[in-house]
Amino acid sequence: MSSIDQVFAELRDANRKAFIPFVTAGDPSLDVTSAVLKELSSRGGNVCELGIPYSDPIADGPVIQASYTRALDRKIKLSQILEMAGNTTPQMTAPLVTMVSYAIILRHGPEEYLRTAKAAGVAGAIVPDLLVEESGDFAKLCQQHDFSLIQLVTPTTSRERALRIAETSTGFIYYVSVAGITGERTELPKDLLDNVSWLRNQTKVPICIGFGISQPEHVRTLKKVADGVIVGSAIVRRLSEIGAKPAEQVIAEVGDYAETLIAALNE
């Protein structure tokens, strides 16, 4: 059983849902990224998601795109990110997964990426530009390394294809709440609960919902059908205030914000 499988098994036994925060690696610095990951883990994050900056982000809205650009402008390299992860994961209770383009994995070499990521304590990867139809070889490598390959289902995914994705995902399924890009929203689609409920009845793999989630009311609604929620832009936007405010203050504010969402999950 992988560390992510273990987390969801424990949550299921406790009748609880997962809170999965996202942060961009290297924005505003790798030291801050390390500190905020530890903060979010200590505040009750169940799995933490680390975005690997990429010049051509997929489905990322303006907040996360801007964070990627800031990190890339600082010449952040994958080797530095994984070194930071290696120094950070021993101090976290939550498993760490990367949101990473397959172009980066290919450039690094799939086998080498998995080896170095595992050595850094990374438990899995979300690879948004890796189609399920083309994921077979990488999925086998992930299985060999006991590394979760978390695949995405979107509102435009056909039910037939969603079943195929569910069969090949490990760790959890990333259910994209909206057709479009990441970013905070005031309302979620009306058919979201029905669509997730249908998939919930087709697979035993945990389903976590991301994109557009930022408010306790969103969490209260989604926990009826999901095994967890993923929150990115709202956290990244707060971290972008570092500079105007001291880093320690912003990290504490991010931790406080995470606790409000976790409290809503546990009501």
The type of residue at 214 is S
pLDDT level of residue 186 (50, 70, 90 thresholds): low
At residue 57, the pLDDT reads: 64
DSSP state of 242: B
User: Looking at 23-37, 94-108, 189-203, which range is the least confident one?
Assistant: 189-203
Q: Spell out the long-range contacts of 192-195 with Cβ–Cβ below 8 A and sequence spacing 24 or more.
A: 192/155, 192/222, 193/221, 193/222, 193/224, 193/225, 195/155
At residue 191, the pLDDT reads: 84
- The token pair at 36 is 């905020």
Nearest 5°: the CA angle 53, 132, 138 is 70
CB 54 within 8 A of CB 68: yes
Q: Inform me whether the pLDDT recorded for 184 exceeds 70.
A: no
Q: Inform me whether the pLDDT recorded for 251 exceeds 60.
A: yes
Compute the distance between CA of residue 150 and CA of residue 173 in angstroms, rounded to an integer.
6
Q: Inform me whether the pLDDT recorded for 2 exceeds 80.
A: yes
- The token pair at 197 is 């409920």
At residue 206, the pLDDT reads: 98
The type of residue at 209 is I
User: Looking at 60-69, 79-88, 153-162, 167-176, which range is the least confident one?
Assistant: 60-69
Model confidence over 8-28: pLDDT tens digits?
Answer: 999 999 999 999 999 999 999
Q: Inform me whether the pLDDT recorded for 33 exceeds 70.
A: yes
User: Looking at 49-58, 112-121, 127-136, 236-245, which range is the least confident one?
Assistant: 49-58
Averaged pLDDT of the chain: 93
pLDDT mean over 135-146: 95
Q: Count the Cβ atoms, other than its own, within 10 Å of residue 200.
A: 18
Residue 49 among the catalytic residues: yes
Annotated catalytic residue: which of 60, 73, 160, 267? 60
At residue 213, the pLDDT reads: 87
CB 152 within 8 A of CB 161: no
- % pLDDT > 90, the chain: 85
Compute the distance between CA of residue 234 and CA of residue 23 in angstroms, rounded to an integer.
10
User: Looking at 39-43, 72-76, 86-90, which range is the least confident one?
Assistant: 72-76
At residue 27, the pLDDT reads: 96
Q: Inform me whether the pLDDT recorded for 181 exceeds 80.
A: no
Q: Inform me whether the pLDDT recorded for 185 exceeds 70.
A: no
DSSP state of 47: S
What radius of gyration do the chain's Cα atoms show? 17
Q: Inform me whether the pLDDT recorded for 220 exceeds 70.
A: yes
DSSP state of 89: G
Residue 60 among the catalytic residues: yes
Annotated catalytic residue: which of 5, 27, 49, 227? 49
User: Looking at 74-83, 106-115, 174-183, 190-199, which range is the least confident one?
Assistant: 174-183
Nearest residue to 48 via CA among 87, 77, 88: 88
- For residue 183, the number of C-alpha atoms closer than 13 Å in the C-beta half-sphere is 12
Using DSSP's 3-state secondary structure scheme, residue 150 falls into strand
pLDDT mean over 53-65: 79
Compute the distance between CA of residue 208 and CA of residue 18 in angstroms, rounded to an integer.
8
